[in-house]
Amino acid sequence: MQEFMNKLQTDLLFFIQIGMLVVLFILVIINSIRISRLKKKLKQITHNQDGKNIETIIKDYYGDIDKVKETQAKILTKQQEIAAILQRCITKVGMVRFNPFKDMGGDQSFAIALLDRENNGIVISSLYGRTNSRFYGKPIIKGQSSYTLSEEEKEAIRRAIAGKIDQ
């Protein structure tokens, strides 16, 4: 009976060892699959930069990010400078052609208003005559002038503010 028990114990230990070996083999396969997936992810992260370790690659990326941030700050500053300049640029133009003298034709005289976004700028008038032409310039502040404006100059300013150049 003792011999039977020893044989049973030996067989049982053998099957337990075989079972453990199968479990270990399955764990090795699972770990191999996981390692393979991790290697693929690492390759995606490193963009196939063989020879560099992940720490160097990450440091390089952070350096690149810092450079991008610096460039972005410079671009933002420049954009703000340009926006400030654009506030003072002529963005509205209105023009009226007219005939100031009854004996002349062709509407060769004109009034043109050149205004910025805040309706500041200048109105220029040209009066064309047979023997001479005269030009007048008047400053415009917030759509108004401290000088007396002709009807044509007022109309040119209205058109500039409304965004209409000519009829």
- Angle at 123 (CA atoms; ends 118, 128), nearest 5 degrees: 165
The verdict on 114 and 145 lying in the same domain is: yes
Greatest alpha-carbon span in the chain: 144
pLDDT of residue 104: 67
Residue 121 belongs to a domain: yes
**Where does a domain end: 45, 64, 87?**
87
Judging by beta carbons within 10 Å of its beta carbon (0-12, 13-18, 19+), is residue 113 exposed, middle or buried? Answer: buried
The verdict on 115 and 138 lying in the same domain is: yes
pTM above 0.75, yes or no: no
Mean pLDDT, the chain, rounded, equals: 88
Question: Which structure tokens are listed for 35?
Answer: 């390692």
Mean pLDDT of all residues in 130-144: 91
Number of domains in the chain: 2
Mean pLDDT of all residues in 85-89: 87
- Angle at 45 (CA atoms; ends 39, 47), nearest 5 degrees: 95
Other beta carbons within 10 Å of 119:
17
pLDDT of residue 119: 93
* Structural domain boundaries, residue 157: 92-162
Q: How far is CA 119 from CA 72, 80, 96, 137, 148, in A?
A: 32, 21, 17, 16, 17
The string of pLDDT tens digits covering residues 18-72 is: 999 999 999 999 999 999 999 888 777 777 666 677 788 888 889 999 999 999 9
Q: What is the spatial distance between Cα 108 and Cα 100, in angstroms, rounded to a whole number?
A: 9
**Where does a domain end: 37, 63, 87?**
87
The verdict on 69 and 105 lying in the same domain is: no
The verdict on 110 and 72 lying in the same domain is: no
pLDDT of residue 88: 85
